[in-house]
């Protein structure tokens, strides 16, 4: 390029020399902007357009708890919850003697068929993940087991976490010994993780007929 007079001194290109709106998403090649190329604190909340970051645009495991600033997520920043539903697993066959509840999938299980034997309930993360690895110390969760009984009732006779027996604290102070005939018994199991591999469990039985 030719110049009249002296050639301008070479200077690095900075953001002040680029008009707003000149560089658009369509002008950037895929993966051309990486985390290493972004100055710390360069992207602030005020620079992000509403609804520009959606779940499909976030890579798996890209947002970690340690990367979220204290008080960054508040109820005022979450869309109003008009209808809140919780997944439940409903089966038309009786529970077996050993029932594993995969907390990472759902925490409510319901058998609409008449129980045929007492049940040992095992709480775990899922088939390949322990509950211990799914919870942090101080976390709590609540699961519910709905057992259908007819003339000969059965009940939850044992409880486990990750395959290890846990003796729960039972509502009313006495361990359960039976179910209720011609009823649906709902067992509520609350677990508090008190340390690595250490849990306190609370169990209650409610009759519905």
Over residues 182-203, the pLDDT tens digits come to 999 999 999 999 999 999 999 9
Closest CA to 203 of 181, 185, 163, 176: 176
The per-residue pLDDT for range 99-114, each reduced to its tens digit, is 999 999 999 999 999 9
Residue 91 · residue 110 · CB < 8 Å = yes
Distances (CA, A) of 50 to 46, 53, 54, 85, 125: 9, 8, 10, 26, 35
Instruction: Identify the residue whose tokens are 């809140």.
Output: 84
196 Cβ contact partners less than 8 Å away, ≥ 6 residues apart = 132, 137
Q: Is the pLDDT of residue 145 over 90?
A: yes
Q: Which of 61-70, 85-94, 176-185 has the lowest mean pLDDT?
A: 61-70
Sign of CA dihedral 32, 33, 35, 37: positive
Tokens 């709902």 belong to: 186
Average pLDDT score over residue span 121-141: 96
Using CA atoms, how far residue 153 sits from 60, 76, 104, 179, 204, in Å, is 45, 48, 30, 5, 17
On whether the CB atoms of residues 115 and 95 are closer than 8 A, the answer is: yes
d(CA 18, CA 204): 66
Record the pTM: 0.65
Contact between 201 and 189 (Cβ < 8 Å): yes
């Amino acid at each position: 390029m030719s110049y009249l007079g002296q050639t301008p001194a070479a200077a690095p290109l900075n953001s002040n020399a680029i008009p707003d709106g000149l560089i658009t998403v369509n002008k950037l090649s895929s993966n051309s902007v990486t985390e290493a190329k972004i100055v710390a604190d360069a992207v602030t909340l005020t620079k992000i357009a509403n609804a520009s970051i959606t779940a499909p645009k976030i890579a798996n495991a890209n947002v970690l708890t340690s990367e979220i600033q204290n008080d960054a997520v508040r109820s005022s920043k979450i869309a109003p919850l008009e209808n809140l539903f919780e997944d439940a697993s409903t089966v038309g066959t009786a529970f077996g003697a050993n029932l594993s509840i995969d907390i990472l999938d759902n925490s409510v299980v319901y058998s609409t068929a008449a129980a045929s034997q007492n049940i040992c309930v095992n709480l775990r993360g899922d088939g390949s993940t322990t509950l211990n690895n799914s919870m942090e110390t101080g976390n709590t969760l609540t699961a519910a087991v709905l057992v259908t009984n007819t003339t000969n009732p059965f009940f939850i006779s044992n409880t486990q976490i990750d395959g290890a027996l846990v003796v729960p604290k039972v509502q009313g102070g006495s361990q359960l010994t039976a179910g209720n005939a011609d009823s649906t018994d709902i067992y509520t199991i609350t677990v508090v993780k008190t340390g690595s591999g250490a849990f306190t469990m609370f169990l209650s039985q409610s009759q519905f007929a």
